[in-house]
Amino acid sequence: MKVCMIGTGYVGLVSGTCFAEMGHEVICVDVDKRKIDVLNKGAIPIYEPGLEELVKRNVDAGRLSFSTDTREGVDRSLFVFIAVGTPPKDNGEPDLSSIEQVAREIGTAMRDYKIIVEKSTVPVQTGRWVRTVVKRFSKHSNEFDVASNPEFLREGSAIKDFLYPDRIVLGVESKRAEEQLLELYKPIDAPKIVTDIASAELIKHASNSFLSTKISFINALSIICEQSGADVIKVAEGMGLDKRIGRDFLNAGAGFGGFCFPKDLKAFIGISAKLGYDFRLLKEVENINEEQMLRVVKKTEEAIWNLRDKRIGILGLAFKPNTDDMRFAPSITIIKAFEKEGATVKAYDPVATDRARTIMPDIEYCQSPYDAAKDVDALVLVTEWDEFAKLDLKKLRETMRQPIFVDGRNLFDPVKMKELGFIYTGIGR
């Protein structure tokens, strides 16, 4: 089947490539000419394990191409997916201007029946606006359908998540769109939930809000564990074995970040307010997360005494392992808080350094974790990259000025760390 993916970012590039891998003919479109040039030269503009090879294979097979021309993409395809960014505005509401822009372009370009599918995360009722705008700008009185197909992939395991998802959600308003979308996704063996557009849009926001709630719950619980001498990892294990609860997303740590949870949570609080409900529960989820990021700074201060003029090493900058994505990364909040207290910061990340440099040009970037540890008063682990689990801890400790280790992801065993001579503190244990 013929697919046009408008927006070739983390979601669009992975989704387009995976559709090609499933045997469909895909054209990925983006306004960012540099991105399209990189892709046309056989490289990829983001870090995502396994993606480069998959792109190459499908380009070579003639099933995947890249363009800056929306008209060409729309013309060639039955499905037109919208996968552009929906970043938060200053007031926390999602900025939907790219969605509107794309809807206009599709309306103008469309010459026969299309199924226009929202893949971006959008507030409930966006589908109605997409329909209105496409219709207003449509030169010919073409028939078209609007559908919602939210994406649940996670950066770092995006290909697997796309090809082997827990479920596929299809919000449709016609039998024709339903049948075509089911055909498109036929190669994927997963439960398919077919519903109306508003419910599909809500499923995405509700899922992300619920997962954020789980994380903030365990983070709040981690404080009780610390105060009572319990171990949050054991508590999570004991809770997680209950099938109604589940162990996933019960890892206490330095808070959640990324382009999805913080922004979708804020957006959902805003959407709810607009619809007349004050979602106080989610506001608290947000507050707990903010506090949690700053708790690692507080813990460092408690171990050092004064932060002024101290040197802090940060291990991990990306918002989670296996991605170079720095959007809303907890490391940014944490580093700013250290700097505010008068400390200087140096940091190491296996892949996110270039992106981090554009956000925080003033800190020192290191070539290795050992460089980041050299002569520091404390090391703070913010992202649990595999590489860190394999560190030579003795060597690390020997390079530090003071052996203070704040483990913001509970990557290490507290007993072993203490045996190695670290003044070690984790989260909730």
Closest distance to ligand NAD from the beta carbon of 155 (Å): 5
Closest distance to ligand NAD from the beta carbon of 48 (Å): 10
The residue within the footprint of ligand NAD, chosen from 16, 21, 30, 355 (CB under 6 A), is 30
Distance of CA 23 to the CA centre of its chain: 27
Residue with tokens 């050992």: 370
Q: Per-residue x/- marks for ligand NAD, 40-59, CB under 6 A?
A: --------------------
Torsions phi, psi of 357, nearest 5? -60, -35
The residue within the footprint of ligand NAD, chosen from 1, 76, 78, 98 (CB under 6 A), is 98
The residue within the footprint of ligand NAD, chosen from 3, 4, 7, 212 (CB under 6 A), is 7
Closest distance to ligand NAD from the beta carbon of 381 (Å): 23
The residue within the footprint of ligand NAD, chosen from 5, 102, 146, 396 (CB under 6 A), is 102
- 139: tokens are 């030169």
Q: Cβ(268)–Cβ(209) under 8 Å? A: yes
Torsions phi, psi of 422, nearest 5? -80, 150
If binding is defined by CB under 6 A, does position 101 make contact with ligand NAD? yes
If binding is defined by CB under 6 A, does position 424 make contact with ligand NAD? no
Distance of CA 43 to the CA centre of its chain: 22
If binding is defined by CB under 6 A, does position 85 make contact with ligand NAD? yes
Active-site residue, 18 included? no
In whole angstroms, what is the distance from residue 401 CA to residue 397 CA?
Answer: 9
In whole angstroms, what is the distance from residue 239 CA to residue 192 CA?
Answer: 29
Q: Cβ(366)–Cβ(372) under 8 Å? A: yes
Choices 77-85, 291-299, 304-312, 416-424 (CB under 6 A): range interacting with ligand NAD: 77-85
Torsions phi, psi of 221, nearest 5? -65, -30
Tell me whether residue 153 or residue 297 sits nearer to ligand NAD (CB atom).
Answer: 153
Residues that bind ligand NAD (rule: CB under 6 A) add up to a total of: 26
Site for ligand NAD in 240-279 (CB under 6 A): 259-260
The residue within the footprint of ligand NAD, chosen from 3, 5, 10, 334 (CB under 6 A), is 10
State how far the alpha carbon of 409 is from the alpha carbons of 76, 87, 397, in Å: 47, 27, 18
Q: Which residue is nearest to ligand NAD (CB)?
A: 9
Closest distance to ligand NAD from the beta carbon of 173 (Å): 21
If binding is defined by CB under 6 A, does position 6 make contact with ligand NAD? yes
Q: Are strands 79-82 and 2-6 parallel, antiparallel or unpaired?
A: parallel
If binding is defined by CB under 6 A, does position 120 make contact with ligand NAD? yes
In whole angstroms, what is the distance from residue 172 CA to residue 195 CA?
Answer: 6
The residue within the footprint of ligand NAD, chosen from 21, 48, 145, 151 (CB under 6 A), is 151
Selected catalytic residue, list 4, 18, 225, 260: 260
Tell me whether residue 261 or residue 385 sits nearer to ligand NAD (CB atom).
Answer: 261
Choices 81-89, 164-172, 296-304, 346-354 (CB under 6 A): range interacting with ligand NAD: 81-89
The residue within the footprint of ligand NAD, chosen from 155, 178, 301, 377 (CB under 6 A), is 155
Q: Taking Cα atoms as reference points, which of 338, 337, 330 lies closest to residue 349?
A: 330
In whole angstroms, what is the distance from residue 404 CA to residue 424 CA?
Answer: 6
In whole angstroms, what is the distance from residue 221 CA to residue 218 CA?
Answer: 5
What's the CA dihedral at 308, 313, 319, 322 to 10 degrees? 180
Tell me whether residue 30 or residue 226 sits nearer to ligand NAD (CB atom).
Answer: 30
3-state secondary structure of 65: strand
3-state secondary structure of 241: coil
If binding is defined by CB under 6 A, does position 35 make contact with ligand NAD? yes
Q: Taking Cα atoms as reference points, which of 35, 19, 106, 60 lies closest to residue 27?
A: 19
Q: Cβ(30)–Cβ(7) under 8 Å? A: yes
Closest distance to ligand NAD from the beta carbon of 350 (Å): 19
Tell me whether residue 207 or residue 402 sits nearer to ligand NAD (CB atom).
Answer: 207
Site for ligand NAD, rule CB under 6 A: 6-12, 29-32, 35, 83-86, 98, 101-102, 120-121, 151, 153, 155, 259-260
